[in-house]
Structure 1
Amino acid sequence: MQRVLRVLEFEKMKKQLLEHVSSSLGRQKVEELQPSTQLEEVQKWQYETSEGAKILRLKGQAPLGGISDVKAHAKRAQIGGALASHELVEVASTIYGGRRLRKFIITMVEEEEIELPLLYEYANKLEPLTDVEREIKQCIDDNGHVMDSASPELRTIRSQVRSYESSVRSKLESITRSSSSQKMLSDAIVTIRNDRFVIPVKQEYRSSFGGIVHDQSASGATLFIEPQAIVQLNNQLREAKVKEKKEIERILAHLSTQVAEVAEELLSNLTILAVLDFIFAKARYAKLIKATEPKLNEKGFLYLKRARHPLLDQSEVVPIDVELGDSYRSLIITGPNTGGKTVTLKTVGLLTLMAQSGLHVPVEEESEVAVFKQVFADIGDEQSIEQSLSTFSSHMTNIVDILDKVDFQSLVLFDELGAGTDPTEGAALAISILDDVYNRGACVVATTHYSELKGYAYNREGAINASVEFNVETLRPTYRLLIGVPGRSNAFAISRRLGLDERIIEKAKEQIDSETNQIESMIASLETSQKSAESEWEKAEAIRHEAEHLRKDLENQLEALEKEKERILKEAEEHAEKAVQEAKEEAEVIIEELREMQKEGIAVKEHQIIDAKKHLEKAAPKLTPKQKKIKKEAAKKQNIQLGDEVRVLSFGQKGFIVEKINDKEFQVQMGVMKMKVKKDDLELLDRPKQVETKPLAMVRGNESHVKSELDLRGQRFEDAMLLVEKYIDDALLAGYHQVSIIHGKGSGALRKGVKQLLKKHPHVKSERDGGMNEGGLGNTVVELK
């Protein structure tokens, strides 16, 4: 397998991929990358890359900074080792980087509602470890310096160190500034030797200062002396620094213990971060080479649409279309050298390996790649110099090895099959090898020079010829792959183009048998026919694109018309709502007047109700012809039945159907009022489960149709008030003297509204809260007149 990865330049591709990792964690994942042979695993890897690409497309980048491979730090802390300050900083930085990436992904999914199921699962598994990070950052700055605030003891010790240093420097500077001492000094400076403050004294004045000599210059003319006057101060300073070092070691040991306590979680985080870094590296690489996610299958079917070799200059590479494994399993590519046959072979092989490694491949959408159990390749320049094998022997050694292992789940790539030996024998061997591989069910792509193999695909079911186009005019290959057309010799055409005498060319043609000439003519005809077909296809595509453009223009125009229609309807609705509101207010005045009359004991006669109805009808807003048409069209589609809850459009009031007068008119109960309303003026809101109920006017004295309690829980306030009014009327008709209205406790708004309505209702004698066994404050008991 490693040899196949090498000859198909998989390792070179991985070097390109390495340029896109953000940390050593991702680098290690890339270095370990190997193609998988399991469809489900490959599919998951592809989905991961697609999710990474989606984030890059939407956000431009992912926050992966600050993450380091701190596995060694975590494991050393686990076994009781103390970490250095810079190692602890790396741990804190990695924890922070992981938490930031976690928040970034979770925010995209939960708040921005972007679908990233796989990355979301990884992000959720990252442990925040905030406490450890905070404690490290409170003690150590970004440069790895343990700060004074790390502990009260360290703050005190460092204060002493600064005090001693100040005293020592002050005394030494007074010596260097003294006029009597300056002539004895090599230079009027204070310096440090062996962690102690000293001054440079000339050799001849050594005895004038006493103290300790710590160093001398290369010439011996200058001695670095610690004067006796500051020895004691230097000793105190040294002791303070020793204490400082011990306190720092204690702090680092404590922080290392904190890291050890979360080492397992930290190691788990590192595993996940490595995967995430690797995923985003794949996504960035896909963006660079303009790659897409291919469809996958286990059926050996391969369809590469406008495929490009990723290691070639993407601005110059010529895309190719390759299909294999459906109508034919053997693709035989013939043609001259330097025409691009080997590049085609490597493109098929490398893109297959990339897809099976979870990488997007440089192809257009709708391309499909098979997940093969084995990929074999015998491609040029593989002869073993060390073993002194010939080109033919080297290739044949590889082919023997391939034939020992190949099966129906294999992809086999042969470059210049049968080359390096006698053409007749080589062609015969090539045909035999291709037959054997085909009979085992494998997919095979082979390149060859032999003209005998041009006829191979014509005589074998499941095989097809292909060639790389050559431009005789420019004497250069175009690198376009022509499926179904074998390569033909261009020797005569090239020779003629280069000026070879026509007499010589004709003489050479006589040396070739008539059958070969017929084959060459046939190939030339096929090329012409294919070019003509491609030209017609391009014209058809241009027409299709133009039709698509026109269709989009029409869709845009239709969308604009729909928006304009919506705007006009919205304006009409706003005008109607305003009119309805005015009508509603006038209706409420009329209803209130009737209630006041009932409270005062004034009997409301039939003719007064008729007058009130006429008043209500006059208050109804006048709809425009367009509004009437819209309302009528909507009303026609409604199947209104007895008991339905409806809205009377002209008043904006809700009510219930109590009687069907005819197909176009219904009687509607709106609170205490009953009105005849046309079907066109009704909007169906809700329908009870038992829709075939009798009209309310027919339930007098029959308690089976009206319960002794009304449950309002879960109702909207406005709907609840309508239900209470209707229920009181129904209860009176049913002959009840006492009923219960269950409204629940909740916020109290519904209870308050019920109480207010009952106090104003002319048929309510009294109301009270329910007792201990009656639901308490969640129930109101009503006594009816």
Structure 2
Amino acid sequence: MNPKVLNTLEYQQIKQQLAPYLVSAAGQKELNALTPLNDQAAIQLALDETNDGAEVYRLKGGIPIARLADITPHMKRLAIGATLNGSELGQVGRVLKTTRAITRFFDDLLEDAPENDIRHLFDEVQQLVTLPEVTKRLATAIEGDGHITDDASPQLSTIRGNITRTEAEIRGKMEHYTRGRDAKYLSDPIITIRNDRYVIPVKAENRSRFGGIVHDQSASGQTLFIEPQAVMALNDRLRQNQVAEKQEEQRILAELSNLIAPYQEEIKQNAALLGHFDFINAKARYAHDTRATEPSLSATNAVYLRQARHPLIDAKKVVANDISLGTDYQAIVITGPNTGGKTITLKTLGLLQLMGQSGLFIPVDEGSRIGIYDEIFADIGDEQSIEQNLSTFSSHMENIEHFLNVIDDRSLVLVDELGAGTDPQEGAALAIAILDAIGASGSQVVATTHYPELKAYGFNRPDTINASMEFDEQTLKPTYRLLVGIPGRSNALDIAQRLGIPRSIVDQARSLTDSDSQDLNAMIADLVAKRKRVEDEQQQLNDQLADSEKLHRQLKSEFNAYQQRKDQLVEDAKVEANAIVATSKTKADAIIADLRQKQLAGGRSSVKENELIDAKGALNALEQQPKLKKNRVLRRAKAQQSFHEGDDVLVKSYGQRGVLVQKMGDHQWEVQLGILKMKIAEGDMEKVKPEGEPKRARATVQSAHASHVSPNLDLRGVRYEDAMTRVDRYIDAALLAGYPSVTIVHGKGTGALRQGITDYLKTNRQVKSFHFAAPNHGGNGATEVEFK
């Protein structure tokens, strides 16, 4: 992209707005190098990265990049074998520390943002190289400001400990002079340092009082800075430790420099990637603050900007406009008075196109589309040059001559006040010829002009359309709204009359105006009035539609509330009915139990067992079931319930517990209810927990139907001795319950329990036969037993 258009459209100011969002030197370097691209894949990648940054900003508030200095010079020094100082190593350490933090951040982010929501960042983070040991060593030895810590080495810690103790001893001795009887011989009762040695300020006349060495004197010569004889040895020791400290620090710096030297390329790559993430972060935050959105790309340069806003104008004052180019027309001719917004419209189109081709989101509504231009040319503003002795007209012609020689079908041309600065008739003719030449090259063009002749041009030429900036005749002020399809009209005479120019003068001016021009202005005025009327009607329809949608939502909400109230009333009624049924069931159960006891006591039954069950089932049928459709918890529990052979169930219609024997159809099972086997629908059953282990029949069983002995005994996981005891008790209980057969589930395991059960069954006189279960019922992991 030619540098001139970047300057004309103020592209550099967009980069200046981005700069405050950056925190790293590498990110700033990437911003400085930012220019519009013309490769579709590269532009889409840049936009995808901005989208990723916006998604991270939405979820986590942005990528946590620390402030990072430029480490490129450090790496160059390291490459030639130099030793880095503490500050340089601290900056390298910060890069490594941030690298580790960013990888962890994106690992956590993966849980909140699926990979398909982030287009590229997860892949780019994989390029970071974490150096855990190097990072830990640098963090331990060097603080952020480059200070070498005491933990950098044991020797350094020992030396600094000696320095601290020696300084404490020196200050202790010196305080005898500053606070004791000798304080009167001092100029000031303080301890200071000269030539890296502790001294006291002594009055010149008391020089011999303390002995020692004079290291300095005041400007007047009245004060001598003396190192007393009593602390000379301690100062010597302190100096030796300080020299040792410097040597150890140099050794540590050399060691750390050698430690990171093999990883120069990895560290440089990490720094560049972190700068790139910082730049992505800045683009995302800038897009958020400017309410910018991601545009789609059109390889055919079919531009459509919805409610486009100039990014350098205050968002509270800027007027948004729809701008379309490249679909129904390739050229737009904008006419209208000065200060109406024509130039801003040109700059808005050009600048947003440059931003989009740079991978930046642009201040437009969603659904906007930009083109992919190889070059954008702009001739905007007064470029008169006194030094070059060029008039305004000449400077414009030079610009136009330049781009006429290079434009093609992948160029966008923006021309402000085409043909201005010369004789109107010749200027209009020249403007028409230039527009024809631009059209012949296949370039897209948007031009502004005052010439009325170009209104007819925009109407007659194919792929060309007129446009104008709206003007409010009531307030005599422009609205800055772009009206596509309507040429601008001259408002000079109307404005003059409204501003107080005598009507006679205005009428005379109208009489001198060409009749064709008056007719054209009248036609334009009529078009504007009709457009305004249509827009007002459309706004009324939109308002009515909004009111209707609001009313519809309100009615729908109230209807749903009514339905909920109705369902709740039905549910309350069912609860009340269930309470009545429950009371009746309790009484009925007591009567049935009493009848059963009397029958058993009499030794014969006049009422059959199944008749009692049917009677109880009829009573249970009165119970009202809640609607699972409105109860998510019950619906979830219902969905999770599944039936398997051997499950204990409650048959709701009979109120009896039973055991599932086998499935009889899609939704029906054969159920063992005491001595009865019945076919029951799944909807009439619900799973229940198995009852406790059966006890001896003589202690608990009163009748075959009161025992509730399961026809299956599951011994899986039971120790051998306990299992054999339970088998013996279970066989007795099953015989008392009247079961013709039972199943013992013992599992396959080592076979010891299976063999033990086989041996037991062989010796039991009540066992008619036994055999392993069918393959679909457990195979040799279960034994089916038939009684005599």
C-alpha change, 1:413 and 1:667, in structure 2 (3 Å) is: closer
Matched AA of 1:505 = V
Q: What amino acid is aligned across from residue 43 of structure 2 in structure 1?
A: V
Distance, in Å, in 1 between the alignment partners of 2:557 and 2:681 is: 39
- Map 1:387-406 to 2 at 5 A: 387-406=388-407
Residue 547 of structure 2: aligned partner = 546
TM-score for the superposition, normalised by structure 1: 0.77
Is the Cα–Cα contact under 8 Å of residues 23 and 67 in structure 2 kept in the other structure? Answer: no
1:435-446 paired onto structure 2 within 5 Å: 435-446=436-447
User: What SS does structure 2 have at the residue aligned with 1:363?
Assistant: coil
Which letter maps to 1:155? S
Q: Secondary structure at the match of 2:509?
A: helix
Give the Å deviation of 1:55: 3.8
The residue number in structure 1 matching 2:136 is: 134
Deviations 1:215-249 (A, max 9, x none): 22223333323344433332221111111111222
Query: What is the DSSP-based 3-state SS (H/G/I as helix, E as strand, rest coil) of the residue aligned with 2:339?
Result: coil
Residues 765 and 214 (structure 1 numbering): CA distance in 2 closer, same or farther, change over 3 Å? Answer: closer
Cα drift, residue 446 of structure 1: 0.5
Which residue in 2 is equivalent to 1:318? 319
For residue 27 of structure 1, what is the amino acid of its counterpart?
Q
| Worse-matched range after superposition: 274-283 or 37-46 | 37-46
> What CA RMSD, in Å, does the superposition of the two structures yield over aligned residues?
4.8
Instruction: Please give the secondary structure, in 2, of the residue aligned with 1:145.
Output: coil
Asked if 1 retains the 8 angstrom alpha-carbon contact of 2:339 and 2:478, the reply is yes
Measure, in 2, the Cα distance between the counterparts of 1:147 and 1:305: 58
Distance in 2, matches of 1:127 and 1:577, equals: 69
Q: 1:381 is matched with which residue? A: 382
Cα 1:392/1:86, change in 2 over 3 Å: same
Kindly state the Cα deviation for residue 311 of structure 1 after the two structures are TM-superposed: 0.5
CA shift in 2, pair 1:302/1:255, >3 Å: same
* Structure 1 pair 181–315 and aligned structure 2 pair: CA distance change class (3 A): closer
**Secondary structure at 1:158 match in 2:** helix
Secondary structure of the corresponding residue to residue 548 of structure 2: helix
Structure-2 change in CA distance of 1:29 and 1:624 (3 Å): same
CA separation of 1:659/1:456 partners in 2, compared to 1, >3 Å: closer, same or farther? Answer: closer
Where does the alignment leave 5 or more consecutive residues of structure 1 unmatched? Answer: 586-604, 635-642, 661-665, 686-715, 720-740, 746-750
The residue identity in structure 1 corresponding to 2:150 is D
Instruction: Write the distance in 2 (CA, Å) between the matches of 1:742 and 1:355.
Output: 72
Which residue number corresponds to residue 155 of structure 2? 153
Distance 1:628 1:411 in 2: 64
Query: 1:204 deviation in Å?
Result: 5.0
Judge conservation of contact 1:466–1:486 (CA < 8 Å) in 2: yes
The answer as to 2:622 corresponding to 1:622 is: yes
CA distance in 2, matches of 1:164, 1:100: 41
- How far, CA to CA, are the matches of 1:23 and 1:577 in structure 2? 72
Structure 1 residues 420-445: Cα deviation after superposition (integer angstroms, max 9, x where no partner): 22222221221122122223332211
Note if 1:33 corresponds to 2:39.
no
Counterpart amino acid of 1:329?
Answer: Q
| 1:667 to 1:100, Cα distance in 2 relative to 1, 3 A | closer
Map 1:733-748; keep pairs closer than 5 Å. Answer: none
Post-superposition shift, 1:348?
A: 0.7
CA distance in 2 between partners of 1:675 and 1:59 (Å): 61
Counterpart in 2 of 1:732? none
Deviation at 1:148, TM superposition (A): 2.6
Equivalent runs, 1:262-341 vs 2, <5 Å: 262-341=263-342
1:50 aligned partner: 51
- Please, which runs of 5 or more residues in structure 2 have no aligned partner? 587-604, 636-643, 691-712, 718-722, 756-777
Supply the distance in 1 between the matched residues of 2:241 and 2:152 (Cα, whole angstroms).
Answer: 17
2:467–2:482 CA contact under 8 A, matched in 1: yes
Superposition deviation, residue 271 in structure 1: 2.5
Structure 1 distance, partners of 2:351, 2:258, is: 48
Q: Which residue of 2 aligns with 1:348?
A: 349
Q: Aligned pair in 2 of structure 1 residues 764, 177: CA closer, same or farther (>3 Å)?
A: closer
Q: Aligned pair in 2 of structure 1 residues 572, 275: CA closer, same or farther (>3 Å)?
A: farther
Corresponding residue for 1:411? 412
Cα shift readout 1:9-44 (whole Å, capped 9, x = no counterpart)? 111111111122233332222222212222333233
Q: Could you give the per-residue CA deviations for residues 58-95 of structure 1, whole angstroms, max 9, x where no partner exists?
A: 55555334444444445544654433333333344444
Q: How does 1:730-769 map onto structure 2 within 5 Å?
A: 763=741
Q: Deviation of residue 129 (structure 1)?
A: 4.0
Distance change in 2, residues 1:610/1:74 (3 Å): farther
What is the letter of the counterpart of residue 290 of structure 1? R
Give the equivalent residue in structure 2 for 1:658: 664
Q: Cα gap change, 1:82/1:338 in structure 2, threshold over 3 Å: closer, same or farther?
A: same
Query: Would you say the 8 A contact 2:468–2:483 is kept in 1?
Result: yes
Q: 1:190 corresponds to which letter in structure 2?
A: I
Q: Does 1:235 align with 2:236?
A: yes
Q: Is the 8 A contact 1:669 1:675 kept in 2?
A: yes
> Residues 456 and 755 (structure 1 numbering): CA distance in 2 closer, same or farther, change over 3 Å?
farther
- Checking the alignment, whether the CA contact within 8 Å between 1:668 and 1:674 is kept in structure 2 is no
Q: Which amino acid aligns with 2:380?
A: I
Secondary structure of residue in 2 paired with 1:19:
helix
Distance of 1:539 and 1:25 partners within structure 2: 54
- The answer to whether the 8 A contact 2:715-2:746 is kept is no
8 Å contact from structure 1 (residues 307, 362) kept in 2: yes
Question: For 1:563-602, what aligned pairs fall within 5 Å after superposition?
Answer: none
Alpha-carbon distance in 2 for matches of 1:629, 1:397: 78
2:170 to 168, 171, 191: 168
Structure 1 residues 569 and 75: alpha-carbon distance in aligned structure 2, compared to 1, 3 A threshold = farther
Secondary structure, aligned partner of 1:293? coil
- The normalised TM-score by structure 2 is 0.76
More off after superposition, 193-202 vs 557-566: 557-566
- Offset of residue 499 of structure 1: 2.1
Query: Which string of whole-angstrom CA distances, capped at 9 and with x for unpartnered residues, describes residues 619-656 of structure 1?
Result: 744344986999xxx9xxxxxxxx99999775798676
Distance 1:459 1:618, change over 3 A: same
With over 3 angstroms needed to count, the CA separation of the structure-2 counterparts of 1:48 and 1:200, relative to structure 1, is: same
- Say whether the 8 Å CA contact 1:64–1:97 is kept in structure 2: yes
Per the alignment, residue 708 of structure 1 pairs with: none
Once the two structures are superposed, what CA deviation does each residue of 1:488-520 show, in whole Å capped at 9, x if it has no partner?
A: 111211221222232222222232222222111
Structure 1 Cα separation of the partners of residues 688 and 441 of structure 2: 77
Which amino acid in 1 is paired with 2:550?
H
Q: 2:678 aligns with which of 642, 656, 675?
A: 675
Determine the C-alpha separation between the residues in 1 that align with 2:499 and 2:665: 102
Paired AA for residue 156 in structure 1: T
1:271 match: secondary structure: helix
* Cα offset, 1:300, TM superposition: 1.4
Greater shift, 294-303 or 311-320, is seen at 294-303
Instruction: Write the distance in 2 (CA, Å) between the matches of 1:562 and 1:657.
Output: 39
> Who is 2:501 aligned against?
500
Are residue 119 (structure 1) and residue 125 (structure 2) matched?
no
What is the one-letter code of the residue matched to 2:40? L
Please give the alpha-carbon distance, in whole angstroms, between the structure 2 residues aligned to 1:208 and 1:39: 87
| Alpha-carbon distance in 2 for matches of 1:580, 1:676 | 26
Match of 2:91 in 1: 90
Q: State the distance in 2 between where 1:257 and 1:187 align.
A: 49
Deviation string for 1:446-479 (max 9, x for gaps)?
1111111011111012111111122344332221
One-letter code of the match for 1:169? R
